[in-house]
Amino acid sequence: MATKDISVGVIGASGYTGSDLIRMLISHPKIDLKYASANNHAGQKISEIYPYLHGKIDLVLEKWEDINWSTVDVIFSCLPHGIFHEIFQKLPDKNIIIDLSADFRLSSAEDYSYWYSFEHKSIEKINQFAYGLTELNRPKIRKSKFIACPGCYPTATLLSLYPLIAEDLIDQSHITIDAKSGISGAGRSPKRDLLFSEISESFRPYSVIGHRHIPEIEQQLMLYSKNDIKINFIPHLVPMNRGELVTSHVRLNKDIDLNEVIEVYGSNYKNDDFINIMSNGNVPNTINVRGTNNCDIAVIPGRVDQTLIVISAIDNLVKGSSGQAIQNMNLIHGWPEELGLSKISIFP
């Protein structure tokens, strides 16, 4: 077997995000997955937690405190929000660290405390993390050791709205986002309202008054526009395992032909192989991005004059989380961004 270029370790390997990350890492041609931790399952093989990995990986899960993290090049953290910001400073500072939680996405510790109900334990490190939305933040990601991967809703929303905001094409005071996600986005911890009999045949909004991803979306939109922006954001839970569809309703602030708008999208994403701008009446469908790191986007004229409907679809566990983390790792190491990532959907 050829020697791999780098070694990596995963903290929080027993959740859906950790599982999908491991699934992709063990097929990555450049990396050696050396450690995986899950404190509640320490001593068990990964394949005992996830039987689909039987025969593919023999790693035994360990407590994160028992691992010598200085022996790996990259650390991925798949812990839920509210945990990694406490243990971050106990890790070696020489590592590249890619955090998939929300702990370092917001630039304000006060905002983090307000939206996540935790006092941030690594305030002085917040602004050392680059926001890991690869297509929109490559220069900072390339030169950063610490990456905060975006949430799934922000990823789908920001990729779909960025060209309109950056080119000042829409009224930034009237943005409404209707978002829908599969239940894997809620994590693997057992919750009564996610039981099969509770979620099956059900389709419902949640966190209607204020979802935790709102400040993250607004923070990034304001960076692109240099203006204050507030959004209406309504997430929904759909009874499917994975996938995310985001529909944004916006109002144009100038008279512009739809073909010109599509050209703006094509120009902004011309070098982004994971972004697919759809045309000829085609619209995004979650099944067409399932298992991929792709984001499909369609721009449609609204029936009301001077309005647009922008629809985007991603796999919430891949482009919305683990796949994007690998894309960032590839970028930092100067490898092709698509290395180890699929562009072909699992169908049906």
Task: Name the residues annotated as catalytic.
Answer: 152
What does 56-73 look like in DSSP terms, one character per residue? Answer: T--PBPB-GGGS-GGG-S
Distance CA 197, CA 151 (A): 27
Tell me which residue has tokens 């482009």: 319
Distance CA 240, CA 232 (A): 24
Q: Are 331 and 274 in contact (CB under 8 A)?
A: no
159: CB partners within 8 A, 6+ apart: 133, 135, 136, 275, 295, 297, 312
Indicate the residue type of 294.
N
Indicate the residue type of 54.
H
Q: Kindly list the distances between the CA atom of residue 99 and the CA atoms of 13, 87, 112, 129, 192, in Å, as whole numbers in the listed order.
A: 13, 12, 15, 9, 28
